[in-house]
Structure 1
Amino acid sequence: MKALDTTALVLVIIGAVNWGLIGFFRFDLVSSLFGTGTAFTRIIFALVGIAGLYSLSLLGRGRDTDRDRTEVK
């Protein structure tokens, strides 16, 4: 699962950088690299979205791990 977690994190970072560029400069890096509305661009956006949803589970696992560490004394 570690590889999946790392992949999801990388995709979320790519999405965050892209949204930051859109917000600050109105520049969509993914669309400029792969074309506006192409199938590949839509796949990248879909993967970033799925990675964002998957990352919600990382948030929950981090809290469970912290709770387990404090309870085991």
Structure 2
Amino acid sequence: MGKIALTLVIIGALNWLLVGLFEWDLVAALLGGDYHRESSWFSRIVYIVVGLCGLYCLKYLFMDESRART
């Protein structure tokens, strides 16, 4: 269950990274909806930081669970 939750969090963070960098919502583009978002610079910076954190969390997705607990 933890790997599924982490995967979804990473996908969400990467989606926000795309919104922050390119004003493009991948999830909306794939599943329907308004995939072009215009945002303020401050919100785009927040989206980019969240996306970068998602990239950082990729290492936890592939980490052995016994190592993750220590």
Larger radius of gyration between Structure 1 and Structure 2: 1
TM-score of the superposition, structure 1-length normalised?
0.48
TM-score of the superposition, structure 2-length normalised?
0.49
